[in-house]
Amino acid sequence: MGGAHSHRACTVPSEAWTRSDGKNYSDVDVAIAIDHLTLAAASLGLGTHWVAAFDTGAAREVLGIPGDAEPVAFTPLGYPADRPQEKQRKEVSELVPLASTGDSR
């Protein structure tokens, strides 16, 4: 990717919405935010890449992320240096079998 910037998505779990059963939605919020960012980027011809496999301690240190914020994901954002080949994608029905079978489980 030529001249890419990196964006980080952090969450502050103590400030996120929590469901009545105790489920904290901070990670879900981050996933929604990154998903919107990557879709918007793609619509503008920009490339991104979900990155979750990183050292959170190193990320905190290098980026100065405060203790109450949790780094969840990163993505580079820039114009792709090359154009990848067309990808072989699974059919939606393979990924979401319940929707295609009408199974009401």
Ligand X SMILES: Cc1cc2nc3c(=O)[nH]c(=O)nc-3n(C[C@H](O)[C@H](O)[C@H](O)COP(=O)(O)O)c2cc1C
Among 18, 35, 40, 49, binds ligand X (CB under 6 A): 49
Considering the complex, state which of residue 53 and residue 62 has its C-beta at the smaller distance from ligand X: 53
The answer to whether 52 contacts ligand X (rule: CB under 6 A) is yes
The answer to whether 83 contacts ligand X (rule: CB under 6 A) is no
Tokens 């998903």 locate to: 35
Cα→Cα distances 44→14, 24, 39, 41, 79, Å? 34, 33, 9, 5, 9
Tokens (6 digits) for 83:
């154009």
Residue 104 beta carbon to ligand X: minimum distance, rounded to whole angstroms: 27
* Cβ neighbours of residue 101 closer than 8 Å, sequence gap 6 or more: none
What's the CA gap between 75 and 41, in Å, rounded?
Answer: 11
Considering the complex, state which of residue 36 and residue 49 has its C-beta at the smaller distance from ligand X: 49
Considering the complex, state which of residue 51 and residue 92 has its C-beta at the smaller distance from ligand X: 51
The answer to whether 95 contacts ligand X (rule: CB under 6 A) is no
The answer to whether 45 contacts ligand X (rule: CB under 6 A) is no
